[in-house]
Amino acid sequence: MLEVKGLSKDYGGLRAVDDVKFALQPGDVFGFIGSNGAGKTTTIRMLATLLEPTEGTASLNGCDILDDPMGVRRQIGYMPDFFGLYDDVKVWEYLDFFATIYSVPGRQRPKVIDDVLELTNLTGKKEAFVQTLSRGMQQRLCLARCLVHDPTLLLLDEPASGLDPRARAELKELIAELGRMGKIVIVSSHILPELAGFCNTVGIIERGELLAFGPVDQIVRQVQVARILEARILDRAGEAASMLCGVPSVASVAPIDEQKLRIEFHGSLDEQADLLSRLIATGFRVVDFRELEANLEDVFLKLTTGAVN
């Protein structure tokens, strides 16, 4: 279990991370969302024991990042946003080097290397030189390096940046699989659709403050005060809009085009059904009437102001 207890980081007079608190369980895939400069990387680097927190601490399965950094390091796999690979080494040599550093026993190393290569779909590249790999493959190799010692926590800082759509989809699938394997995965990104698909928990950070934390659905529900309905009416959409404005549970109506209306609605589901019945009963030819589900992007835009440190 990962417990982050009031982590803060100051750079001179600037507070880059301010009292960040959250807890994650094995199997959680946590999407860490924030604009550039919001404090995601600083938080991740503190959890990776690369940066000393100004205040607060964090513990992973009982190992504190300040009191027992070596214990934490044995349990984490860290993939920075920008990273390099050694030149002139083969893929298996690269993994063997890090497996040795992480004290993986010599007899187990070949199997461990084969396993992580298979998991990251790089088995065919075992004998290739790392500099000949594509960007996507290098990203997967870096992830394979993070996995050689079977960590319980994976810290992935912008893992999909610079990847083409196919490589991005493969990486998403791989991260989801790691979550299913019972690992805690923290993935930071500012590309929200990238995270929405496979994260079961998200945190939104701005100017170092964690504005929201929890399961995706819960956060969406918390943030969404009114439901958004979209109706498509074949003709007299304007008249329908005037009529809807008179309904008490309708906050506002905005035409999207000649036929479509966007309705901000505060009522219950029963009232929503009554609204549709009323439109039809009044003679409007409704061909589509549906609730638009708020997504992470809406939540993010609603919670954040775009300000950076």
Q: Which residues bind another protein (CB under 8 A)?
A: 45, 48-52, 65-70, 73-74, 76, 78, 80, 82-89, 93, 97-98, 100-103, 145
Closer to another protein by CB, 78 or 284: give it. Answer: 78
Shortest Cβ distance from residue 51 to another protein (Å)? Answer: 6
Closer to another protein by CB, 74 or 260: give it. Answer: 74
Hey, what's the torsion of the CAs at 23, 24, 30, 34, to 10 degrees? 10
Closer to another protein by CB, 67 or 235: give it. Answer: 67
Closer to another protein by CB, 66 or 119: give it. Answer: 66
Per-position b or e across 158-183, b if 16+ CB within 10 A of its CB: bbbeebeeebbebbbebbbebbeeeb
Shortest Cβ distance from residue 293 to another protein (Å)? Answer: 39
How far apart are the two ends of the chain, measured CA to CA in Å? 30
Shortest Cβ distance from residue 67 to another protein (Å)? Answer: 6
**H-helix or E-strand spanning residue 116:** helix 109-119
Shortest Cβ distance from residue 105 to another protein (Å)? Answer: 12
> Which residues have a Cβ under 8 Å from the Cβ of 260 and sit 6 or more positions away?
230, 231, 232, 233, 237
For residues 137 and 91, what is the distance between their CA atoms, to the nearest angstrom?
Answer: 10
Is the four-CA dihedral 23, 59, 82, 123 of positive or negative sign?
negative
DSSP states of 149-193? T--SEEEEESTTTT--HHHHHHHHHHHHHHHHTT-EEEEEES-HH
Shortest Cβ distance from residue 71 to another protein (Å)? Answer: 8
- Looking only at the bridges linking them, the beta strands covering 63-64 and 286-292 are unpaired
For residues 96 and 92, what is the distance between their CA atoms, to the nearest angstrom?
Answer: 6
For residues 263 and 296, what is the distance between their CA atoms, to the nearest angstrom?
Answer: 20
Shortest Cβ distance from residue 199 to another protein (Å)? Answer: 23
Closer to another protein by CB, 48 or 112: give it. Answer: 48
Closer to another protein by CB, 151 or 267: give it. Answer: 151
Shortest Cβ distance from residue 37 to another protein (Å)? Answer: 14
Closer to another protein by CB, 82 or 248: give it. Answer: 82
The number of residues in the chain equals 309
Closer to another protein by CB, 64 or 274: give it. Answer: 64
For residues 290 and 276, what is the distance between their CA atoms, to the nearest angstrom?
Answer: 10
Tokens 């024991």, located at residue? 49
